[in-house]
Homo-oligomer: A and B are copies of this chain.
Amino acid sequence: MNAFYAQSGGVTAVINASAAGVIEAAMKTKLINKVYAGRHGIVGALTEDLIDVSKESRATIKGLRYTPAGAFGSARYKLKSLEQDRAKYERLIEVFKAHDIGYFFYNGGNDSMDTANKVSQIGDQLGHKVICIGVPKTVDNDLPHTDCCPGFGSVAKYVAVSTREAALDVASMAKTSTKVFVMEVMGRHAGWIAAAGGLAGKGPDQPPHIILFPEIAFDKDAFLAKVKQCVTDYGYCVIVVSEGAHYADGKFLADAGTKDSFGHTQLGGVGPVVANMVREAHGYKYHWAVADYLQRASRHIASKVDVQQAYAMGRAAVELAVKGFDAVMPTIVRKKSKPYKWEVGYVKLSDVANVEKMVPRDFITADGFGITEKCRAYLQPLIEGEDYPPYKDGLPDYVKIKGVAVKKKLNTDFKP
């Protein structure tokens, strides 16, 4: 049987490392014949637009390990319940059947694990067995039952490094210029990325002085008082704010007013909102940065641990399939924090699907503006080590797939 691999949702600096893990492991087992990848994720399966991975060179597959973003194309495309979207699930099985696909490796977050689980069920119902294995991926780090999620460690490293660097800049200038610097980071519901900013310094005088988490309702008065205290005591104030920061009533500090295809509110711009608040209240000169895609695409400063875990999760997914598992996802199991020791475990997809892991309250300081030692002990190992890509002409020499299409067998039109 052949295998189908697809990337789903927001991409990361290391999702292609997971792809490399899947592909290289699949090449080693006799159970799997060819690996096909979905062009633009699950959309490629629905439209029978499959990429023949065997047409890619070994060097390209190897290069996926150090190439960020989704080399095969990803998709923000959610399949709803089996009842609501039955035609789509049936179409998937139809395409899988036509191409002798008996294995489905779905590289994504919560929603994707739910989809993979349903595909496993519908295949059984329709008499075409598909072994469905999830491959964890999300910069948000919000999947349960795994120590962390591939993609997160590298964003965490980027945010911690960037916060440390920008803070040095502000500290240099504060005497006569910028006193407040605001850095907006991703994390709609879970504040893991914002928390990672906390690794940039230790102790109340070291930046970042304030972190605004989605897990803590924003208290404007307490925030402004803290900014003033920092500028007074340390000469400047560095703030890391999560895009999901919100008031007690649930209203986001910044709401761009647009929604994505999942109906989620599209956020952006909480950085300038917070900076303006500070200026209005205290008149301090400020600067703000919004890292946006830079943070999750920043393969140039990826965490070595993260790259290793991303690759290991891809490989483990194939190994689980070979061992006869179905509807599971490999996980990272922490054995020790210092030095970091981890091994591969697994969990049922049904236990992962649509569950979000938030930053626990005891990872956040009592005042709600910082991370505790417990949080630091959890986060620190995940940003360990550098894994630099090769460079050419001063720029990272990332690979690009040829993307040769598999000949269509159905040739039926399907609008996803």
Contact = CB atoms under 8 A, between A and B. Distances in A.
Interface of A: 7, 10-11, 13, 40-41, 43, 67-71, 73-77, 157, 160-162, 164-166, 168-173, 175-177, 181, 183, 199-200, 258, 260-261, 266, 268-269, 271-272, 279, 285, 287-294, 296-301, 303, 380, 383-386, 388, 391, 393-396, 398
Nearest to A275: B268
B199 A76 contact: no
A297 B177 contact: no
Contact of A173 (B70, B172, B173, B287): B70
B384 A173 contact: no
A297 B300 CA distance: 16
A396 B169 contact: no
B69 A171 contact: yes
Given A181-B293, A293-B287, A73 B269 contact: no
Given A40-B176, A169-B69, A396-B161, A293 B300 contact: no
Contact of A293 (B169, B279, B296, B386): B169
Contacts of A287: 268, 292-293
Contacts of A268: 272, 287-288
Nearest to A272: B269
Contacts of A279: 258
A76 B170 CA distance: 12
B172 A11 contact: yes
Nearest to A295: B289
Given A164-B398, A303-B394, A388-B388, A260 B285 contact: yes
A177 B69 contact: no
A380 B396 contact: no
Of listed A67, A289, A385, residue having the most chain B CB within 10 A: A289
Given A386-B391, A394-B303, A172 B70 contact: yes
Contacts of A7: 172
A143 to B, nearest CB: 20
A267 to B, nearest CB: 11
B170 A293 contact: yes
Given A164-B398, A165-B396, A166-B293, 5 more contacts: A11-B172, A69-B169, A166-B292, A268-B287, A289-B290
A293 B290 CA distance: 10
A354 B356 CA distance: 56
Contacts of A43: 175-176
A175 B297 contact: no
B285 A294 contact: no
B173 A10 contact: yes
A66 to B, nearest CB: 12
A261 B177 contact: yes
Given A161-B396, A165-B396, A175-B73, A386 B384 contact: no
A11 B170 CA distance: 9
A269 B275 CA distance: 12
Given A161-B395, A285-B260, A287-B292, A11 B177 contact: no
B298 A162 contact: yes
Which of A266, A271, A290, A296: most chain B Cβ within 10 A? A290
Contacts of A288: 268, 290, 292
A262 B13 CA distance: 41
A168 to B, nearest CB: 4
A296 B394 contact: no
A172 B15 CA distance: 11
B168 A69 contact: yes
B384 A394 contact: yes
Given A173-B74, A175-B40, A383-B395, A68 B297 contact: no
Contacts of A290: 271, 288-290
Contacts of A296: 169
7 closest cross-chain pairs (CB), A and B: A70-B172, A383-B394, A69-B168, A289-B292, A165-B297, A40-B175, A169-B297
